[in-house]
């Protein structure tokens, strides 16, 4: 299906490339009909700026986000006859006690269509930048793991101290899925972004029982409120075997009756539709032939609504032919 619900541009994201209009133009060239714009929400502390943002102040990030929304709406109008642009944001969850309020405020202030609910930090340390930073997160996990645990409600529990035998990975992964659960509960994001991005630098680490229980908890909660799980093709770009989520979690989501959308998580025009050839095969392998996307409708009073729609028989959609060989489509 010609959609992606998660994207970025170098114009408004320092680690991406190109400007937003180039991204939209490339999506049109590749025959996308629905394209979600979801720049990162601003961060509010100097300590949370990335290295490429060292010359900026958090107030600059807010200004950049405001400019993103203005430009996105301009493009939405300009290219209305060629593509449907859905305007939202991708969440951060650095300080988990304040993140939800910050996200909700942005959604209200800018009247955004949707949220891609993602977690990129654990113990306030980025976990998907590079292996060195991931190692720092593991070190922090080791320190934090000696202090306190989180129970299956995502709340701290002084009586549930981690065992001394717990690995740093188990502590870090547990904390990641607890942070994700908090965002899920408080925001109920329309789309859950790269569900298991925590695996990026530990792709073969086996989930223990406690971590897997948190995965199940989170999946069941998303299903309960009707959220969409994105099949995110950037997993291959990061060197993983599969898209996000990896196949063990994908099988769980299918078993629990979860609904899927698809995303390229593009970071510039050259990555629009990236790895959609592999994504097609992934969908086909797991017989996922119905996906969901966001669209606009208007009520009787003319108020714009954002609605979820389904598309069936997606594996036979002609959109895929530009990405796959004739043999793959059989």
Which pLDDT band, with edges at 50, 70 and 90, does 150 fall under? very low
How much of the chain, in percent, has pLDDT values that exceed 90? Answer: 84
Average pLDDT over residues 59-65: 96
| C-alpha span between 7 and 272 (Å, rounded) | 8
| C-alpha span between 286 and 283 (Å, rounded) | 5
Output the pLDDT for position 159. 39
3-state secondary structure of 225: helix
Average pLDDT over residues 254-270: 98
Q: What is the mean pLDDT of the chain?
A: 92
Output the pLDDT for position 54. 86
Output the pLDDT for position 326. 46
CA-closest candidate to residue 276, choices 310, 321, 245: 321
CA-closest candidate to residue 261, choices 31, 36, 20: 36
What tokens were used for 131? 């292996």
| C-alpha span between 88 and 285 (Å, rounded) | 30
Which pLDDT band, with edges at 50, 70 and 90, does 153 fall under? low
Reported as a single tens digit per residue, the pLDDT across 13-48 is 999 999 999 999 999 999 999 999 999 999 999 999
| C-alpha span between 320 and 329 (Å, rounded) | 8
3-state secondary structure of 284: helix
Reported as a single tens digit per residue, the pLDDT across 73-96 is 999 999 999 999 999 999 988 987
Which pLDDT band, with edges at 50, 70 and 90, does 145 fall under? confident
Average pLDDT over residues 248-266: 98
Average pLDDT over residues 122-135: 95
Output the pLDDT for position 170. 95
Output the pLDDT for position 304. 87
Higher-pLDDT residue of 148 and 13 is: 13
| C-alpha span between 323 and 183 (Å, rounded) | 34
Res 327 pLDDT > 60: no
Output the pLDDT for position 154. 52
Res 72 pLDDT > 90: yes
Which pLDDT band, with edges at 50, 70 and 90, does 139 fall under? very high
Which pLDDT band, with edges at 50, 70 and 90, does 1 fall under? low
Average pLDDT over residues 238-244: 95
Average pLDDT over residues 163-171: 76
Which pLDDT band, with edges at 50, 70 and 90, does 315 fall under? very high
Reported as a single tens digit per residue, the pLDDT across 298-314 is 988 888 899 999 999 99
| C-alpha span between 192 and 176 (Å, rounded) | 14
């Amino acid at each position: 299906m010609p959609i992606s619900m998660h994207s970025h541009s170098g114009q408004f994201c320092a680690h991406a490339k190109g400007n937003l209009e180039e991204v939209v133009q490339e999506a049109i060239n590749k025959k996308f009909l629905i394209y979600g714009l979801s720049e990162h929400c601003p961060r509010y502390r100097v300590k949370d700026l990335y290295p490429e943002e060292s010359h900026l102040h958090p107030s600059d990030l807010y200004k950049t986000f405001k400019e993103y929304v203005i430009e996105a709406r301009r493009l939405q109008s300009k290219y209305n006859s060629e593509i449907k642009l859905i305007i939202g944001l991708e969440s951060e969850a650095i300080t988990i006690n304040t993140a939800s309020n910050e996200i909700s405020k942005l959604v209200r202030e800018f009247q955004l269509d949707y949220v891609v609910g993602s977690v990129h930090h654990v113990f306030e340390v980025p976990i998907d930048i590079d292996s060195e930073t991931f190692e720092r997160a593991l070190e922090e996990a080791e320190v934090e793991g000696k202090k306190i645990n989180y129970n299956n409600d995502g709340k701290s529990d002084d009586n549930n101290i981690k065992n001394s035998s717990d690995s740093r990975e188990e502590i870090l992964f547990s904390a990641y899925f607890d942070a994700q659960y908090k965002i899920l509960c408080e925001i109920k994001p329309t789309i859950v972004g790269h569900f298991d991005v925590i695996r990026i630098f530990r792709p073969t680490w086996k989930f223990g029982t406690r971590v897997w229980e948190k995965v199940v908890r989170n999946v069941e909660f998303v299903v309960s409120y009707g959220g969409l799980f994105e099949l995110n093709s950037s997993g291959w770009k990061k060197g993983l075997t599969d898209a996000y989520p990896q196949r063990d979690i994908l099988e769980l989501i299918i078993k629990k009756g979860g609904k899927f959308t698809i995303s390229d998580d593009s970071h510039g025009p050259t990555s629009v539709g990236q790895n959609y050839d592999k994504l097609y095969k992934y969908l086909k392998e797991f017989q996922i032939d119905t996906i969901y996307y966001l669209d606009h409708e208007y009520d009787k009073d003319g108020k714009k609504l954002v609605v979820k729609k389904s598309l069936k028989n997606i594996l036979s959609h002609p959109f895929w032919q530009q990405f796959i060989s004739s043999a793959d489509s059989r």
